[in-house]
Structure 1
Amino acid sequence: MYLTQPLHRACQHNPDLPATIFGERTRTWAECADRVARLAGALHGLGVGVGDRVAILALNSDRYHEYLLAVPWAGAVVNPVNIRWSPAEIAYSLVDSGTEVLLVDDVFSAMLPALRQQCPQLRTVIHCGEGPTPEGALSYEELVAAHEPVPDAYRSGDDLAGVFYTGGTTGHPKGVMLSHANLMVSALGSAACGFVQPGGRLLHAAPMFHLADLASWVGRNLLGGTHVIIPMFDPVKVIEAVQRHRVTDVLLVPTMIQLLVDHPAAREADLSSLRQLLYGASVISDAVLQRTAALLPEVRLTQAYGMTELSPVATMLMAEDHEDPQLRRSAGRAGPHAQVRVVDAEDNEVPTGTVGEVVVRGGHVMLGYWNKPEETEQALRGGWMHTGDGGYLDERGYLYIVDRIKDMIVSGGENVYSAEVENALAKHPSVASCAVIGVPDKEWGERVHAVVVLLPGASAGEEELREHCKQFIAGYKAPRSVEFVEALPVSGAGKILKRELRKVYWNEAERSVH
């Protein structure tokens, strides 16, 4: 199984069916295959070989779709960059992965001088936007036009397909290595649960760099149909795209769903084509669920739980499960491709209803972390991916996530590791010590909250610390709230007791995470 396999099938079955719709531009599967093969030829001409990493820093577009196919067609490895990261974080991922070729669109071309300065190994930039090609970059369209199509490299399932960077517990992003088979197995298992409608139209409104959207992209390719793409989430643009292009499937995080169903334009629009709404990153509140059901009574809601290291799906909560208030608090049951259990600190399976660490096994589990053998060994010990999430299984196999063992916050669908924020805060001259935790937030699910001890006689305000952090980390990782205290609670060994800090905010909740 390999990522370009569905493209061959689409050209054989439905060559004249629209593959992508982006703005006023529609391209068939036959046109898509020709452009993919030509772009792969261009990459070969630029010296890209088997296993080389090719990155993209761009908003959603039909060219993003072509990139995801052309890179493996050329035998290389995709490296989609998080568009919300700071230049320093982006540069770290490019240097760490040894990426020498970068695709960039109009929105992010202004970053090129800084990236070139911080990434000496970056030798080629391809401009994939609509505007003028920046100085020193190559034109995407000119490359496609100038090169003949080359044969597919036909990568094997065990070959590395992509390096996907996620937050790191030590303050630096980690490159998750996923094989072609990892991504295909996860998509096939999800498709078996009705992940997307066969032959339907999938709207890409969530960022295409994110594994959640990329998984739906693989699923759409597998089952045939059309990708409808908008640059980024905007409730009005989503409504317009669904109405104009008769979209059947869409993936959103609960925050996006809330913004969509609460927008006045949604009540006036014809959204009757929608059949499937997939969401993840956090549970959906009953209030938002009720408003969604009232607006979209024919739509099936499916929740997926997982992580980048699982390509990304482990469990799914099906539409019929949403009718049970108790089950709505769960993350669903293991997908057909996954085995899920809950273990204690010694990796022994715990009894039903007992909280422990969630571990997962299957063909969708990552190959490992790029250049991090020790962290890979720790995460995959015993052949199981240790998620760092605390939870329990009920007697029917439904998984309930109740806490996080690893220090991670999920805010608006994005993972934020506390260490990244703490490292940035600690660079402020007035900060003596700090701890970062996730606290409940109605809009974002969880909010990044900093508890700070200032040096004697020093001063700093909440906004000052927030802006300081943005110099080193993405804006969404910067603390949304700051609490100043005289001292942090510590254990006898001197370890900060974050559970004590969190208790104040979560003591009324049934679970300690969203």
Structure 2
Amino acid sequence: ATALIFGERYRETVNSLRPGLKTVRNFIILGQASKDLQGYEDLLSKYPADEPQVAVGEEDIAWILYTSGTTGPPKGVMLTHRNLLADTLSTLLTCFPINRNDIHLCLLPLFHVGGLWHMRCSFYIGGTNVLVESTDPQLVLETIQREKTTTTCFVPPMIVPIVDYPEVDRYDVSSMRIMIYSGAPLPEGLYQRMKRIFGDIIIQVYALTEATGGVIMPPLMEGPWEKVKRSGSCGKEVLGVEVRLVNDAGEECAPREVGEILVRGDNVMKGYWNMPEVTAQTLEGGYLHTGDLAFRDEEGYYYITGRKKDVITSGGRAIYSPEVENVISLHPAVSEVAVIGVPDEELGEVVKAVVVLKAGQKATGEELIQWCRGRLEDYKVPRSVDFVPQLPKTPSGKIRKALLREMRRS
């Protein structure tokens, strides 16, 4: 990047980072200019108000968005104008029943594909977007009550402080009618806490940066939510998107057989910025190889089981961490949980749970292990439990399981 535009609140942060920003020549502040910072409004006043006449083609790059970096270094995803339009139209025509009267609460940061996806769809149909500077629980709840927001998009870890906020019941959140989540499983315990506060309006979708957003979503245009929802499912392919499930041999999966999600369509990225080899591997055979696992039922509904890299193999048997996390999340003392595999000489890997307790609550590792017995098959029950004050997360709110595994193994 050669230019950095930032708000007044980030002045000190940017100043501390400047020595490492070797390519940036223009530092532009949305605030008071100084000797080494250009003022945004001052800069605009020097140039004509008319937009420059630049020819833009559908295959030209519109955005470069970076992945969350949960499984490795973040990668710059090149999305074209065709990608953006295809994704917006397929989403609105298939499964996102919003209209110009909706008021969207922007919880996700706008460097995140989910935040931009929801805002883009809202603008496209003439809706309203409300921005918040942070996900501070009081700020979010006050904004919902004051602005009467109707829709939002989130990743599960970011919603925990909001639903666990001690004074949450003081606020009127009845205006909310759609709450969409993606990027991570929603543990059953967290889902139940959300449902008590907001009602049965929580919708899972499957989306990723490399596909400009939506890939699999509930087919809400086929009927009301009560008719088309399936417990634990993120829905069906959106219009114009082809999804395959393949096993390790590259063969098509039978119904209810877990396999990797492959995606093809006009929403799939052009590639990764300056990473041709990784691009070729990821788009091998004309399909986007997502690294995510799912199965499909007889009706064509998809159920996400986790990331390939997060599968725990214990004694030759696969354990999908969301299943274990769901059970632990239902314990009344648990606020957040992440389940990982740790090395074991006999079984290869065994299950470890890393837990954040609710404020003022107590529980022991043995108590949580016993909680899992009878609710899970024996080989899925955690062998150990670690308690931490917080889980490591990416800037977009996803839990960094790769870092957790590294920390626990070292």
TM-score by length of 2: 0.72
Check 1:402–1:136 CA distance in 2 against 1; reply closer, same or farther (3 A cut): same
The CA distance in 2 between the partners of 1:353 and 1:140, in whole Å, is 54
Closer/same/farther in 2, CA of residues 406 and 448 from structure 1, 3 Å limit: closer
> Is residue 292 of structure 2 the alignment partner of residue 392 of structure 1?
no
Task: Say which SS state the counterpart of residue 253 (structure 2) adopts.
Answer: coil
Offset at residue 178 of structure 1 (A): 0.7
Letter aligned with residue 188 of structure 1: L
1:305 aligns to what?
Answer: 206
The number of residues matched between the two structures is 341
- Give structure 2 stretches of 5+ with no counterpart: 313-320, 330-334, 345-388
Deviations 1:33-53 (A, max 9, x none): xxxxxxxxxxxxxxxxxxxxx
* Residue number in structure 1 paired with 2:351: none
Are 1:232 and 2:134 counterparts?
yes
Q: Secondary structure at the match of 1:127?
A: strand
Question: Which letter maps to 1:141?
Answer: E
In structure 2, the residue matched to 1:149 is 49
SS, match of residue 251 in structure 2: coil
**Residue of structure 2 equivalent to 1:214:** 116
- The one-letter amino acid paired with 2:338 is E
In structure 2, the CA distance between the partners of 1:145 and 1:275, relative to structure 1 (3 Å rule), is: farther
1:448 to partner: Cα distance: 7.3
User: CA RMSD of the aligned region, Å?
Assistant: 3.7
Per-residue CA shift, 1:470-491, capped at 9, x if unaligned? 9xxx997454994468xxxxxx
The residue number in structure 2 matching 1:137 is 37
* Residue 177 (1) aligns with residue 78 (2): yes
Alpha carbons 2:203, 2:234 under 8 Å: kept? no
| Residues 103-502 of structure 1 mapped to structure 2, 5 A cutoff | 103-113=5-15, 115-128=17-30, 130=31, 132-133=32-33, 135-151=35-51, 153=54, 155-167=56-68, 171-192=72-93, 193-194=95-96, 196-297=98-199, 300-317=201-218, 327-406=230-309, 440=325, 442=329, 443-444=335-336, 446=338, 477=400, 479=404, 482-483=407-408
Q: Determine the C-alpha separation between the residues in 1 that align with 2:244 and 2:125.
A: 30
Which moved further from structure 2: 281-290 or 384-393? 281-290
> Aligned-pair distance for 1:451?
7.0
Are the aligned partners of 2:195 and 2:202 in contact in 1 as well (CA < 8 Å)? no
How far apart, CA to CA, are the structure 2 residues paired with 1:445 and 1:321? 32
Deviations 1:197-228 (A, max 9, x none): 43321111221111111100110111112111
Q: Identify the residue that residue 74 of structure 1 maps to in structure 2.
A: none
User: Is residue 104–residue 151 contact of structure 2 (8 Å, CA) maintained in 1?
Assistant: yes
- Partner of 1:112, secondary structure, is helix
Provide the secondary structure at the position in 2 that maps to 1:382: helix
Q: Is the 8 A contact 1:246 1:274 kept in 2?
A: yes
Query: In the aligned structure 2, how far is the partner of 1:476 from the partner of 1:136?
Result: 37
Q: Give the aligned partner of residue 511 of structure 1.
A: none
Note the residue ranges of structure 1 that are not aligned, 5 or more in a row.
1-98, 410-436, 453-465, 486-514
How far the C-alpha of 1:164 sits from its partner, in A, is 1.2
What secondary structure is seen at the aligned counterpart in 2 of 1:328? coil
Aligned residues of 1:195 and 1:278 also touching (Cα < 8 A): no
Paired residue secondary structure (1:272): coil
Closer/same/farther in 2, CA of residues 321 and 399 from structure 1, 3 Å limit: farther
Q: Which residue of 2 aligns with 1:500?
A: none
**Structure 1 residue 107: Cα displacement:** 3.8
Aligned-partner Cα distance in 2 for 1:232–1:179: 29
